[in-house]
Amino acid sequence: MAENLNLFTSTQVVIQEALNKLGYDEGMFELLKEPLRMLEVRIPIKMDDGLVKVFTGYRAQHNDAVGPTKGGVRFHPQVTEDEMKALSMWMTLKCGIVDLPYGGAKGGVICDPRQMSMNEIEKLSRGYVRAISQFVGPTKDIPAPDVFTNSQIMAWMMDEYSRMDEFNSPGFITGKPIVLGGSQGRDRATAQGVTICVEEAAKKRGIDMKGARVVIQGFGNAGSFLAKFMSDAGAKVIGISDAYGALHDPNGLDIDYLLDRRDSFGTVTTLFENTISNKELLELDCDILVPAAIENQITSENAHKIRATIVVEAANGPTTSEATKILTERGILLVPDVLASAGGVTVSYFEWVQNNQGYYWTEEEVNEKLYKKMIDAFENVFTVSTTRNIDMRLAAYMVGVRKTAEASRFRGWV
Ligand code: NAD
C-alpha cells in the first residue's frame, strides 16, 4: 500500500488510536475527526494594475468545547481545505498538550505574497478579516501569524477588526508588534520551545548539549532562531538548509555569520558554492536532527538512513506515520511536532492574557512561564510514552486530545 502523505487523513488515524487508548467510544471520534466549522470565503482585491483579482480563503475551527479557538493564518499558493482541517486539529492537540484554555483553529488564503506588493498584501489582509469577521473575535476565535504572514499583517488585521468593532480590540489577534500589544518573546517563542524539547530529549538520551552535533533543516523563523539558541548552548550546528540546498561543516558552521546573511524568506545557501542537497542533509551523521521546514521530509524512503539519535520536529508534519514507526523501531527518540512546536501558541496565549488584563510582562517573565509550560508538557508526554510503551507521537496525541474530549463530554455533546 502506498505511504499516506495526506496530513488530514493521517492525523485522523492517530486521533482515533489516541481516543481508543483513552477508552472513548466511536461517538467521540465522530465528533473530533474534523472541524466543527469550516468557512470558505472569496475576497475581491483591486490589484495595483487596476484589475480585480478574487482570492479564496478559509477558516477552520476544530472544536470550541474548552474555550475560544486559536490558530494562525497562512498566505501560501498551496493552501487547501484539507490542510486547514489538519492544521486546526493539530492546534487543538497543541493547546491540550501545553494546557491552554483554547480549542484549535487555522486559516489561510491561496495567494503568493512573494509576488505581491505591500499595498496588495495590506488589502488582502484587511479583506480576509472583513470576510471572516462574524466568525472570529477575542472570545470566539483568535488568529495569529503562520507561513508568510508576520507582525505587520497582524497589525493590519487588528486595525481592520477594531474599525468594524468600533473599539480597540488587541485581543482579537496575536503576534502583533509590541507597540500594538504584542508580547515580548513572541518572535522567538517557537524556537525557544523547540530548544527546551531538544535539551530535555538530550538529557533522556544522556547527550551533553556542549559539543552535541546538531543538524537543522530550514533557516526561517523557527530554524534560524533555533540554530542561534543551539550554538549559544554550546552545541555544534554542523548542517543547516533552505529551499535551495544545504551547508555542512563537521567542525560547526558560523551561525552568527549565516544569520547576518540570510534574507527575510530564510534563504542563505544561494551565497555559497559548496552545498549539499536537503536529502543528504537529513542523512548526515549527527546527534540531534531538527526538521524545521516543510512536511513529509522523513518518509519510509529515508527513515532507515537517518543517523541522528534524537529527531525533534519543529516543522508541522515532517515525518510520516510509516517513518515514525521505523525511527521508533530503530530506537531513535522522536519528539513530535504537536509538542515540540507548541511554544508559539503558548506565547500567543500569554499575549492574549496580557491584552485582556492590560498589564504587560517582561521578556524574563514570559520566558520563565514558557519554560514551565514546555517542561511540564514534555515530562507529561514522555511519561505516557514510557508507561504505555508507545511512541511519543501517540502519547502526545493522547495528552493533547484528552482535554477537548473531556470538555465535550461534560458539555453533553457526546
Ligand atoms: P519560514 O517560512 O520562516 O522558513 C521556512 C524555511 O524552510 C526557509 O528557510 C525555507 O527556505 C525552507 N524551505 C522551504 N521549502 C523547503 C524545502 N522544500 N526544503 C528545504 N527547506 C525548505 O517558516 P517557519 O515559520 O520557520 O516555519 C517552519 C516550519 O515550522 C513550518 O512547518 C511551520 O508550520 C512550523 N512552525 C512554525 C512556527 C512559527 O512560529 N514560526 C510555529 C509552529 C510551527
Inside any domain, residue 203: yes
Is residue 105 classed as helix, strand or coil in its secondary structure?
strand
pLDDT of residue 3: 81
Give the integer Cα–Cα distance in Å for 375 and 197: 8
Give the integer Cα–Cα distance in Å for 102 and 404: 9
Cα 220 to ligand 1 centroid, rounded to whole Å? 5
**DSSP one-letter code for 298:** B
Cα 148 to ligand 1 centroid, rounded to whole Å? 9
Contact 239, 247 (CB under 8 A): yes
For residue 64, give the CATH number of its domain: 3.40.50.10860
Give the integer Cα–Cα distance in Å for 222 and 240: 12
155 & 205 share domain? no
> Number of structural domains, the chain?
2
Residue to substitute in 149, 197, 294 for testing ligand 1 pocket (most ligand atoms within 8 angstroms of CB): 294
- The strand ranges marked E within 98-156 are 103-110, 141-145
Q: Which atom of ligand 1 is nearest to the CA of 190?
A: 40
196 & 162 share domain? no
Cα 272 to ligand 1 centroid, rounded to whole Å? 20
Give the integer Cα–Cα distance in Å for 223 and 324: 21
pLDDT of residue 1: 62
Joined grid coordinates for residue 95: 493547546
pLDDT of residue 139: 96
69 & 147 share domain? yes
Cα 315 to ligand 1 centroid, rounded to whole Å? 6
pLDDT of residue 4: 77
Residue to substitute in 242, 265, 347, 370 for testing ligand 1 pocket (most ligand atoms within 8 angstroms of CB): 242
Active-site residue list = 106
Among candidate residues 285, 313, 340, the one where a domain is terminated: 340
For residue 226, give the CATH number of its domain: 3.40.50.720
Contact 88, 70 (CB under 8 A): no
Within 6 A (CB) of ligand 1 lie: 147, 190, 217-223, 241-243, 266-267, 278, 292-294, 314-316, 341, 344
Nearest to residue 19, comparing CAs of 381, 366, 282, 397? Answer: 397
245 & 316 share domain? yes
- Nearest alpha carbon, ligand 1 atom 18: 243
Give the integer Cα–Cα distance in Å for 100 and 346: 7
pLDDT of residue 147: 87
Residue to substitute in 147, 225, 296 for testing ligand 1 pocket (most ligand atoms within 8 angstroms of CB): 147
Residue type, position 295, single letter: E
Give the integer Cα–Cα distance in Å for 24 and 45: 46
Instruction: Spell out the alpha helix ranges (H) of 2-150.
Output: 7-22, 26-32, 81-97, 118-132
Query: What is the block-wise mean pLDDT of the chain (414 residues), using blocks of 10 residues?
Result: 83 96 97 98 98 98 98 96 96 98 98 96 98 96 93 97 90 96 95 98 97 97 95 96 96 96 91 95 98 95 98 95 96 98 97 97 98 98 97 98 98 96
Q: Which atom of ligand 1 is nearest to the CA of 297?
A: 19
Inside any domain, residue 271: yes
- Nearest alpha carbon, ligand 1 atom 28: 293
- Nearest alpha carbon, ligand 1 atom 4: 220
Whole-Å CA distances, 291 to 96, 98, 143, 242, 283: 23, 21, 25, 11, 12
Among candidate residues 310, 340, 370, the one where a domain is terminated: 340
pLDDT of residue 166: 83
- Nearest alpha carbon, ligand 1 atom 3: 220
203 & 326 share domain? yes
Report helix, strand and coil shares of the chain as percent, to nearest 5: 50, 15, 35
pLDDT of residue 113: 94
Nearest to residue 366, comparing CAs of 169, 155, 187, 142? Answer: 187
- Residue with cell string 514522555: 382
Residue-number span of the structural domain to which 156 is assigned: 34-168
Q: Which atom of ligand 1 is nearest to the CA of 317?
A: 32
Q: Which atom of ligand 1 is nearest to the CA of 293?
A: 7
Inside any domain, residue 181: no
Give the integer Cα–Cα distance in Å for 86 and 338: 12
Inside any domain, residue 384: no
Contact 44, 115 (CB under 8 A): no
